[in-house]
A and B are shown apart, each in its own frame.
Chain A
Amino acid sequence: MKDEVTREERVTNLKGLGCSRKRVEDARFTQGKGNYVDDINLPGMLTGDFVRSPYAHARIKSINTDAAMALDGVIAVLTAKDLEPLGLHWMPTLAGDKQMVLADGKVLFQGQEVAFVVAKDRYIASDAVELVEVDYEELPVIVDPFKSMQSDVVLREDLDPKAPGAHGPRKHHNHIFTWEVGDEDGTNAVIDDADIVAEESMYYHRTHPCPLEPCGAVASMDKVNGKLTLWGTFQAPHVVRTVASLLSGIEEHNIRVVSPDIGGGFGNKVGVYPGYVCSIVASIVTGVPVKWVEDRMENLMSTAFARDYWMKGKISATKEGKITGLHCHVTADHGAFDACADPTKFPAGFMNICTGSYDIPIAYLGVDGVYTNKAPGGVSYRCSFRVTEAVYFIERMIEVLAIEMNMDAAELRRINFIKKEQFPYNSALGWEYDSGDYHTAWDKALKAVDYEGLRKEQAERVAAFKAGETRSIMGIGLSFFTEIVGAGPVKNCDILGMGMFDSCEIRIHPTGSAVARLGTISQGQGHATTFAQILASEIGISADSITIEEGDTDTAPYGLGTYGSRSTPVAGAAAAMVGRKIRAKAQMIAAYLLEVHDDDVEFDVDRFVVKGAPERFKTMSEIAYAAYNQAIPGLEPGLEAVSYYDPPNMTYPFGAYVCVMDIDVDTGVPTINRFCALDDCGTRINPMVIEGQVHGGLTEALAVALGQEIAYDDMGNCKTGTLMDFFLPTAWEVPNYETDFTVTPSPHHPIGAKGVGESPHVGGVPCFSNAVQEAFRPFGNRHTNMPHDHWRIWKTANDLGMHD
C-alpha cells in the first residue's frame, strides 16, 4: 500500500510535543458546560452552611440551636459536641498540627466555623444560621506575630506549652516551630568580615489565591453498600481519600473521591477544610447526600491564605560585587492553626531556595512559625512551596545590595549568576539545581527591551522631574528567578507520609484511540490537552484520539495531585514512561506482523517501520488492532500499561523578567508600559498553553504586587472579605505582556520538561514590585513593602519629600 500522507503531515496530525494545539477543555468551559461541584445535584440532597465567629478570639460560653432547629426545613445543627464522640471535632492539618473542625470551647479567628446547619436548601440553611445563638466572651486579640511571641495570652490552650511541636521544640506558647538550614556561624563570620553588607527587613503581606470557584463538597454516604462518595474541590483527590479513610475508619476501597471540573485552585484547594468533614459527617448522620459550598466571603476569610512572611536579610559582597554570604530570618505568621500545605519535612516549604539564581558560597535560613488570631493556611499561591517568598526575598536583597554598592542591578545579577558549566549546582542551602543557562536568558531579555536605552530614558525622566517638568517618574523592574518544582523525590518529599510520586495509566483501544488516566487533577492548566500531546509523541497516536481523565479515585491511578507545578515534572514524566512501555510492546507486535526481528523495526512518528525499508510499516492503529485480535506467540493480548514515577530530583525552571512602569507621584497611580517575560521551562509541550499560563501567572503577580491583600484591623476583623476590597485584576488592569523563551531541558526528566504554571507568578511579583521601588531609587528609596496600591505608592513619594 502506498502511503499518501507525507511524513510532515503525519507529524502535524499527531499533535504531539511542540504543537500549539487548542485546549480541548475550552469547548465546554467557554460554553458554560463545565461540571463543577456546585453543579452536582443528587436526589434528596441537603445543604450545609456554617455559623461563623464574628470575633477573632473569644470563648464560647454557650450555643443555643433551638430556634434554628425549630425552623421548617432544618434537619440538623452540628456543633463540636456532636462531632466529639466521632473524634472529628478536631482534624489533623497537613503541617502536623491539628485544627478545630467546629469551635471547641473557643474561637481563634474571625470567620471560624462554629456550627454546621443542615437544611433542605441553601436558603433555609442561611436563615437558620442567623437563628443559632452563640454566647461569646471576647478575649484579647493578637494579629502581630512579634507581639504574639511576647504575649502572655495563650492562643492554643489545647497544646502543652512545653511539649515540642511537629517540627521540634517550641520557644513560647504561641510559637509553632523553628526551622534552620545552612551554617549560621559560618555565614555570620563571612558577613562580619565582608567589604560590603546590605541589610533589609521586608514584609511579604498576607494574600489569598481566590480562585473563581470557591471551595465545596458533596458527600453521599450510601448506607446500603457502605460506600462514601465525595465530590469536592480537591487539588489532591487521592490524598483526600486516604485521609478520609484514616479519619473516618471507612476502608479506603469504600471511599470514592471525585474532583470534577475545578474552577481554579492556585493552592487554595490543597488543604482539608471543616466544610468537607462536616458534609461527610452530615451525610453519614442523615443518610442522604449533603452539599456544602462556601461563598466568596467565606473563601476569602476562612480558607487558606498565602504568604504573611516577615523576612529579615543580610547579604555580603566583595568590592567587585561578588556575593559572599546570605543570612535570612523569617517570622512566619501561620494564623490560628498551622495548616500550611508543605511536604512534611519542610515546615517553611522550599524557602531554602532563597539563594536564588546566584552562586552564593555560604548561607543560613531560620524560620520561626507563630500563631496569631488570623485564619489558618499558608498555602503556596501559584508557586511551589514558599518559593514566591524566597524569590521575592533574594530579588529584593539584590536590589538593596545594588543600592548599597551604587551599582546597576542588572550587572550585579550577571556577576553572581550560577554559570552554565556549574550545573548540576549544589546550593549552600542544600538543593541540587538540575540545569540552567542564566546568562543567556538574562542577556536575551535585556536586549529585547533595550536595557541601555531604558536606563538612558530613565535618567532623562529623573532630570525632567527634578527640573519640575513632569510629575511622572519611570521605574525599570528587573527580576531573575529560579523555581524549584516537581515535588518530589519520595526520599525527601511526602504529604502526611504519602510519598510524592505520580502516575499515569493508559489503555489503547483496538481501533487505535486511547484513554489515559493520571493521579493529578487539572484546575484549568489544560492537562487534557498537554498530557495527550506527551503521549502522542511517545506512542504515535494523535493527541485528538487520546482522552485524558483525572480526579476520580475509583478509576485514576494513585497520585499526589496538582500543585507546586508538579503535574508536568512528575505525572508528565509518568505519561512519557507509560508511553514507552506501550511502545516497547508495540515494537514486538510490529516486528511479528512484519515478520522481522524486534530490533529490525524502528519507531517513526505514528508507526513502526522496517529499518532501511520505510515502505514496510505498521501504524499504531494496526498494531493496536492486532494486540487485541491476533494471537501473537509469547505476548499477552491487549495494549495497556501503568507507570508510577518517582522523580530523581526537582526541576528548576527559570526566567528573566523586565517591567517598565510610569508612576504618577501625586496620585500614586502606576501605569505599566511594558512587561517582558522570558521563561525557560525546558522542553515546551504546547507553546500556546505555556503562553496562557504565563499570562495568568503574571496577572496574579500583578495583583499581589499592586494591591491584593488580606488585611486585618487590630481587633482581628478581616477588612478585605469581598471583591470590592480584595483586588482581583480584570482585563482592564492588565498590560500587554510580551513573552519569550529559551530552552534548557531538564536532564533527568524523560522529555526534559520542567513545569511552567507558577514561574510567572514567582518571577512576576518581584518584577512588578521592583519596578515600583526602582522608580523611587533615584530619589532615595531603598525598600518599601508591598502591596503597592495607590496610597502606599503615594506614601513612598510623600516620605521622600516629593510632594513638598
Chain B
Amino acid sequence: MIPAAFEYHRPSDIAGALSVLAEHGDEARVLAGGHSLIPMMKLRMADVPHLIDLQDIADLKGITIDGDTVTLGAMTTQHELIADEALFAACPIIREAALQIADPQVRYMGTIGGNVANGDPGNDMPGLMQCLDARFTLVGADGTRSVAARDFYESAYMTERDDEEILTQITFSATGAGYAYEKQKRKIGDYATAACAALITKDGDKVATAAIAMTNLSDIPVLSEAAAAALVGTSCDADAVKAAVAAALEDIDPTEDNRGPVAFKMHVAGIIISRAITRAWSGA
C-alpha cells in the first residue's frame, strides 16, 4: 500500500496542466478527488510517474445554471453538488445520487469530473449522466470538443477521452422529470451490487419520455433504450414496468464477484430497476 515514486505537479490553470500532459504523455495522469487513482497507485496497479493535481485550477470549479443549461465544473465535489440548492431545483436526481456515494469524508474530496472521467463501471454518476444526456467537454492541445455521455464509455476504464485531454466540464439540461436513483450496496463506501437511474416525464397519464441507465452491471454504464421504449406511451402499469425491466436486463452483463454470482445480480438488478422506474413515475 505504498506507491512508487512520482512527480507531483500542481498547475494553476488548464494550459499548465495540458503542457505537463503533453510533455509526459501516458506517463502522466490528472488527479481530481483521488478516490480511485490514489488507491490504485498505492496498490501499485497504476504506474503514474507524473501526477497532475487539478485542485488549484479555478476554472474547473463551480456550478452554473444559465436558463435551462446546467454546467458543472469537473472539480466540483460531490458535497458541493449536494449542497447547491439551485442545482437541486434544476436537477434533483444529482443530489439523490450523490448522497449515495460513500460517506461525507469521501464526498468532500470526490469530484463529479473524476467520477465520470475515470471509466470505472462502479462509479455512480456515469449512468446518471447518460440518463440526462449530458455532454462532457474535453480540452486538449488541439482544442476543445464535446462528447455525449452516451458515447463516452468504451470498456472498463477506457473512454473517448484521449490520454492528453482533460475533462473540464459537464453540461446538461435542467429537467422536471420524475426521478429515482436506486442503489443496493453491501455497505457504505461500496460499489453498487446493482444501481439504476430513472428519469420519466409524463404526458397526461402516459409516459412521455423515459431514460433508464444502470451502474456496475456491465463493464460500462448501460443506458437501456429498449427499457425506455417499453415505457413510453404506457401508463407505467405493472405490465409496462415488467416489460421495461425485462428489456433492461437484456442490455446488462454483470459478472460474479464478492457481491454474489450472476443469477443473484440479475435478480437484484430487476428489483432495483423496477423500483427506480416505479418511484420515478410516482414523481413524474
Chain A interface (Cβ < 8 Å from any Cβ of B): 49, 122-123, 125-127, 130, 295-297, 666-669, 707, 711, 719-720, 723-725, 727, 729-730, 732-733, 789-791, 794-795, 798, 803
Contacts and interface: CB of A to CB of B under 8 A. Distances in A.
Contacts of A295: 1-2
Interface string B175-205: 0000000001011111101000000000000
A123 B5 contact: yes
B148 interface: no
A329 B150 CA distance: 58
A789 B186 CA distance: 8
Contacts of A666: 267-268, 271
B5 A127 contact: yes
Contact of B2 (A123, A667, A795): A123
B187 A803 contact: no
Given A295-B1, A790-B193, A730 B188 contact: yes
Contact of A711 (B103, B186, B258, B272): B258
Contacts of B103: 730, 732
Contact of B268 (A125, A668, A789): A668
A724 B264 contact: no
Nearest to A727: B187
B258 A719 contact: yes
B5 A733 contact: no
B89 interface: no
B4 interface: yes
Contacts of B260: 789-791, 794
Nearest to A794: B264
A345 to B, nearest CB: 39
B259 interface: yes
A506 B5 CA distance: 51
B261 interface: yes
Contact of B258 (A667, A668, A720, A795): A720
Contacts of A707: 186-187
25 contacts: A122-B2, A126-B4, A130-B44, A295-B1, A295-B2, A667-B184, A667-B272, A669-B184, A711-B258, A720-B258, A723-B189, A724-B190, A727-B187, A729-B187, A730-B103, A730-B188, A732-B188, A789-B186, A789-B260, A790-B184, A791-B193, A791-B261, A794-B260, A794-B267, A795-B264
A296 B268 CA distance: 31
A795 B1 CA distance: 35
B271 A667 contact: yes
Nearest to B4: A127
B184 A733 contact: no
A724 to B, nearest CB: 7
Contacts of A789: 186, 260
Contacts of B189: 723-724, 730
Interface string B223-264: 000000000000000000000000000000000001111001
A296 B187 contact: no
Contacts of A720: 258
Interface in B258-284: 258-261, 264, 267-268, 271-272
A702 to B, nearest CB: 11
A351 B161 CA distance: 59
A733 B190 CA distance: 12
**10 nearest A-B pairs in the assembled complex, by CB-CB distance:** A791-B260, A126-B2, A295-B1, A732-B188, A791-B264, A666-B271, A725-B258, A730-B188, A667-B268, A794-B264
A795 B260 CA distance: 10
Nearest to A296: B1
Contacts of A669: 184
A297 B43 CA distance: 10
Contacts of A730: 103, 187-189
Given A668-B268, A732-B103, A794-B268, A297 B1 contact: yes
A730 B103 CA distance: 10
A719 B257 CA distance: 9
Nearest to A733: B187
In the complex, which of the residues B103, B258, B264, B272 has the most CB atoms of chain A within 10 Å of its own CB atom?
Answer: B258
A296 B2 CA distance: 11
A794 B271 CA distance: 12
Given A667-B271, A711-B258, 19 more contacts: A49-B2, A123-B5, A126-B2, A130-B4, A130-B44, A297-B1, A666-B267, A668-B264, A668-B268, A725-B258, A727-B187, A730-B103, A730-B187, A730-B188, A732-B188, A790-B184, A791-B264, A794-B264, A795-B264
A625 to B, nearest CB: 52
Interface in B61-119: 103
B186 to A, nearest CB: 6
A725 B122 CA distance: 14
Contacts of B271: 666-667
Contacts of B190: 724
A205 B1 CA distance: 27
A501 to B, nearest CB: 40
A790 B258 CA distance: 11
Interface in B4-21: 4-5
Interface in B118-157: none
In the complex, which of the residues A297, A666, A719 has the most CB atoms of chain B within 10 Å of its own CB atom?
Answer: A666
A180 to B, nearest CB: 37
A436 to B, nearest CB: 37
Contact of B267 (A123, A127, A725, A803): A803
A248 B103 CA distance: 48
A772 B143 CA distance: 58
A668 B268 CA distance: 9
B14 to A, nearest CB: 31
Contacts of B188: 730, 732-733
B2 A727 contact: no
Contacts of A790: 184, 186, 193, 259-260, 264, 268
Nearest to A791: B260
Contacts of B258: 711, 719-720, 725
A648 B271 CA distance: 59
A127 B188 CA distance: 32
Contacts of B191: 724
